[in-house]
Chain A
Amino acid sequence: MTLLAGADGPSCYTRQVNEWICSDYLADRRSEIVDATVQHIAITAVSVLVGLVIAFPLALAARRFIRLESTILAVTTGIYTIPSLALFPLLVPFTGLTPTTVVIGLALYALTILVRSLLEGLRAVPDEVRESATGMGMGATRLLFRVELPLALPVLMAGLRVATVSTVALTTVGSLVAYGGLGNLIKDGVSTNFRAELFTASVICVVLAILLDVLLVVAQRLLTPWTRGVRA
């Protein structure tokens, strides 16, 4: 019955004791926890990056063709409305029970936030700045990369933070197709009534979200040194 029949008496994660916080669990299942965390980070990072890569041309297209803008925004809003537990199964016929399913689903959610913040950021660039850049002889590409994108960066980074934090939380639902990072541990904790596993995975998840958020704030400060004096 006992999981550990050690001489030290019952550990804090036997069926009888089943404590929420248990250092023995951390020590004994270390590799399992690390693996889940690494998978969680990998899925989150790839999803947000894929979302960003797709959001970029979409936002540019939406900006260039006004008619396309409402369509793109309507479709992305529609996707955002679909619950993740429903979105993953809808993708399974095409991608199967693979990490790809989770990544595509999460990338779609990240995309909806990122397209909006990209558009908003680009729109916030003052017209006179754009005009003086054109007056200095900049072409469309140089204007975009040298002037507009840097100025849109603060708004984009705000969107990226929201997208990243939500993606960390949403990755747990990927446990439906067995690729949910820490969500797999949570699912296992629920089905085997294992409190320490459940609690540890949940806490790591929240800590991960906060860490990534802080990381992005630091990145933003480094990338946009000119805003530092303004925003006290």
Chain B
Amino acid sequence: MTVFTDMWDFLTTGANWSGDGGIWALLVQQLLLTVTALAMAVVAGLPLALWLGHLGRGGFLAINISNIGRAIPTFALLALFVKADWPGTDSLGPYGRAGLATLLALTLFALPPIITNAYVAMREVPAEVREAARGMGMTGPQRFFRVELPLGLPLVMSGVRLALVQVWATATIAALVEGPGLGTIITDGFFRSNYGKGLAGALVVAVVALALELLAALAQRASDPTPKGGPSRQADPLSPAADTVDANADAVG
């Protein structure tokens, strides 16, 4: 198949990797966007979800926000943001209008898994543990920081991990609205009938996605306070049986 040799040629040509529109530059661009959006979503969503979970309120919204997020096509939201008068101007931010629209859309799509998992993590702390902490005379903040948060951390982290992979996927789709990132290579290859190039871009995106997932799994394992083989209810995050794609999983854009 000639497409594969084209792809190989594209990937092995050094000029395609360097320079302004090169693979490295786009890769860094997309990673930067992904990390920024994830950080924004964590700052915006995590404290609120943890607090609600601690209080046991607002569960309906916290659980259903994932369902709502799933029904909204990433592509549609990106397109609406890019073509809207708000937010921003054509020159705002390093990547222009599409860049800002992408960042906002990415942040919004990172919120549901983070919020839902954080809320569920707080609620799933066993009632007896909660009672025991209260019986020992712990105050609300003490219970939250010393008991509920450490016990819920693996599940909270799995939400962040889910969000990370999802944001990376969504950032790829930004190329459909002339946004920044590696997806540009794919769409460019396709719209110019240079399928080898499109395939090369797809391969790079997929490899980075898998690498991110693996890194996140390692980070999640490191965050688990219970020793291996201990009474942790959470399965080993590296094992495929872990809830990477649990019922709360959203479509990878």
List chain A positions with a Cβ less than 8 A from chain B. Answer: 69-70, 73-74, 76-78, 80-90, 92-93, 109, 112-113, 116-117, 158-159, 162, 165-173, 175-177, 183, 186-187, 189-190, 193, 195, 198-199, 201-202, 205-206, 209-210, 213
Contact = CB atoms under 8 A, between A and B. Distances in A.
Contacts of A166: 70, 250-251
Nearest to B78: A190
A80 B252 contact: yes
A202 B252 contact: no
A77 B71 contact: no
B83 A80 contact: no
Interface string B63-81: 0000100111111110110
Given A83-B169, A87-B206, A172-B73, 13 more contacts: A77-B240, A80-B245, A81-B212, A84-B173, A85-B172, A85-B175, A85-B253, A86-B206, A86-B209, A172-B74, A176-B187, A190-B177, A202-B80
A112 B245 contact: yes
Contact of B82 (A74, A77, A81, A190): A190
Q: Which 10 A-B pairs have the closest CB atoms?
A: A166-B251, A83-B169, A202-B76, A74-B240, A89-B202, A209-B71, A73-B240, A86-B202, A86-B205, A169-B73
Interface residues of B, number: 54
A82 B75 contact: no
A206 B75 contact: no
B222 interface: no
Contact of A83 (B79, B173, B247): B173
B24 interface: no
A2 to B, nearest CB: 20
B241 A213 contact: no
Given A169-B70, A176-B187, A85 B240 contact: no
A111 B212 CA distance: 22
Contacts of B240: 70, 73-74, 77
Nearest to A73: B240
Contact of B190 (A89, A117, A168): A89
30 contacts: A70-B241, A77-B240, A77-B245, A82-B209, A83-B168, A83-B172, A83-B183, A83-B206, A83-B252, A85-B173, A85-B183, A85-B202, A86-B205, A89-B199, A90-B202, A93-B4, A93-B199, A112-B245, A162-B247, A165-B70, A166-B70, A169-B73, A170-B73, A170-B253, A176-B176, A186-B76, A187-B75, A193-B83, A199-B80, A202-B73
B239 interface: yes
A216 B104 CA distance: 32
Interface SS majority for chain A: helix
Interface string B215-253: 000000000000000000000000111001101011111
Given A86-B202, A90-B202, A213 B71 contact: yes
A152 to B, nearest CB: 15
B106 interface: no
A81 B80 contact: no
A79 to B, nearest CB: 9
A142 to B, nearest CB: 29
Contacts of A173: 73-75, 173, 176, 253
A74 B83 CA distance: 39
B34 to A, nearest CB: 11
Interface in B158-194: 165, 168-170, 172-173, 175-178, 183, 186-187, 189-190
Contacts of B189: 89
B205 A190 contact: no
A78 B82 contact: no
